[in-house]
Amino acid sequence: MSIFIRGGTVVNADRAFKADVVCFGDKIIAVGENLDAPPHATVVDARGQYVMPGGIDTHTHMQLPFMGTVTADDFFTGTAAGLAGGTTTIMDFVIPDPKQSLLEAYHMWRGWAAKSAGDYTFHVAVTWWDDSVHADMGTLVRRHGVNSFKHFMAYKNAIMADDETLVKSFSRALELGAIPTVHAENGELVFQLQQDLLKKGIRGPSAHPLSRPPEVEAEAANRAIAIANVLGTPVYIVHVSCAESLEAITRARAKGQRVYGEALAGHLVIDDSVYQSADLEYARAHVMSPPFRGKHHQAALWQGLRGGNLHTTATDHCTFCAEQKAAGQDDFTKIPNGCGGVEDRMSVVWDAGVNSGLLTPSEFVRVTSTNAAQIFNMYPRKGIVAAGADADIIVWDPEGSRTISARTQFAKGGFNVFEGRTVRGIVSHTLAAGRLVFERGDLRAVEGAGRHVDRPAFTATSAAAA
Ligand code: URP
Ligand code: ZN
Ligand code: ZN
Ligand code: ZN
């Protein structure tokens, strides 16, 4: 029942200090110097290592039915892979079909997620509008612990939300104390550019980034921010991939608007040369939206994270195997969009961010856990190593290294966008709700052990603070 983490350096978003940590049941009960281990406690030796809050991946898609197929990782395999990489909570998405009841979809996803090995919570997508959607949003916030609603500005003829839906849903979210989030890409422009490319006979995966240039993303980011400004709502932009979108966020924040931005581990380190590969299976495996970008966009995203205009890091973990991706072998618009990463985000962000001097360890904690907990109202239950918080803790070995590969990963799909990358800085132990679920390569994920995290609505005094 109790775990004693001895002799590490606790790193929280505000400071780092030497301390022991005592966990009992699913909670942290004490953090301090020279504590005594409770009788019969499991002792974890953290000397020379960092003790940090478990990662929160704000953006995953486990078991998602999408583009005619279903992602390779389900809620068990996906959350288990997360635990192996130091992510103890995922924020996934309920995505109702247009005309499907939000509540019906929510309960369907809750059923699928019951087998999760780590904690999980849901953003609910608003893909259409009528009075029932208005009512269901209220029920979700008041009775089901949902405080964020997602809007896809892309995926025309599928789940795209038009301006009417954005305006009505943002207003409703404000009324309820929930935060609207957006996938910012102009779906009309994407559709038009896709048709133009196909007409010219450009059908391979190299056409994917051509159909989704940065301006297409920036237009939607600016529009969402403008709508939020007029209505007086905060807004959170998922997977910001380009300098132009970041500029929109930076400008709005400078004027005092509450706008938050999320960067994906993949967008931070992978560039668009992957689409030029002669190996079409490899190129297809990288098809996700927004696409990987040129290197100057990566530099901008790092600056955004460091400067506080981007707040969270996520993965958009959405894995499809080669056979699934092959559905688009003759037409790039039919390649299921999505890539993995839930297992690797923490190490990739540490290696590229902290080892390079771009981020301090406390800034790392902020962008991998604390800001997510604050923006989505899970703090201080999540996002901090402190008495009273959930015992979701990672012991981080800054000198340990591993070479990322699909051959050794726990995640499904048979592919890894970070293949061959050697990262220094790895999780040695993961505690999830007080259970030691990962210890130096040994994953002990338990199906169904994860819990749904209820996230209360914001009130006037608890508006997202990051
Ligand atoms: O390509 C992506 N990102 N697939 C998952 C759905 C989404 O847009 O987030
Ligand atoms: Zn998206
Ligand atoms: Zn996504
Ligand atoms: Zn398969």
CATH number at residue 385: 2.30.40.10
- pLDDT at residue 466, rounded to an integer: 46
User: Residue of the nearest CA to atom 1 in ligand 1?
Assistant: 288
**CA 290 to centroid of ligand 1, rounded, Å:** 8
Q: How far apart are alpha carbons 224 and 101 in whole angstroms?
A: 24
State whether the beta carbon of 252 lies less than 6 angstroms from ligand 1.
Answer: no
Determine if ligand 1 sits within 6 Å of the CB of residue 288.
yes
Q: 459 pLDDT band (50/70/90 cuts)?
A: confident
- Shared domain check, 361 and 265: yes
Contacts with 105 (C-beta within 8 Å, 6 or more apart), sequence order: 94, 95, 96, 97, 124
Query: Which residues of 320-461 form beta strands (DSSP E)?
Result: 393-403, 422-432, 435-439, 442-443
Both 22 and 130 in a single domain?
A: no
CA distance 217 to 220: 5
User: Tens digit of pLDDT for each residue in 400-442?
Assistant: 999 999 999 999 999 999 999 999 999 999 999 999 999 999 9
448: in domain: no
Asked if residue 45 is part of any domain, the answer here is yes
297 and 385 inside one domain:
no
- Please tell me the residue having the least CA distance from ligand 1 atom 5: 338
The answer to whether the peptide bond before residue 290 is cis (omega within 30 degrees of 0) is yes
Q: What domain count does the chain have?
A: 2
Q: What is the pLDDT of residues 249-304, one digit of tens each?
A: 999 999 999 999 999 999 999 999 999 999 999 999 999 999 999 999 999 999 99
Model ipTM? Answer: 0.94
Q: Are residues 303 and 174 in the same domain?
A: yes
Kindly give the distance from the C-alpha atom of residue 8 to the centroid of ligand 4, in angstroms, as a whole number. 42
Query: Atom 3, ligand 1: which residue's CA is nearest?
Result: 289
Which atom belonging to ligand 1 lies closest to the Cα atom of 59? 9
Per-residue pLDDT tens for 2-20? 999 999 999 999 999 999 9
Same domain, yes or no, for 44 and 168?
no
Q: How far, CA to CA in Å, does 12 sit from each of 72, 351, 398? A: 34, 18, 16
* pLDDT over 70 percentage in the chain: 98
Tell the residue nearest (CA) to atom 2 of ligand 1: 338
The domain containing residue 431 runs over which residues? 2-53+381-398+425-443
Residues 6 or more apart from 457 whose CB is under 8 A from it?
A: 141, 142, 147, 176, 177, 178, 377
Query: What does pLDDT average to over the chain?
Result: 97
Ligand 1 neighbourhood includes 286 CB (under 6 angstroms) = no
Who surrounds ion ligand 4 at CB < 5 A? 321, 323
**Unique residue bearing structure tokens 């997508």:** 125
From ligand 3's centre to the CA of 59, what distance in Å?
6
pLDDT confidence tier of residue 465, bands split at 50, 70 and 90: very low
Ligand 1 atom nearest residue 288's Cα: 1
Q: Are residues 142 and 187 in the same domain?
A: yes
pTM here?
A: 0.98
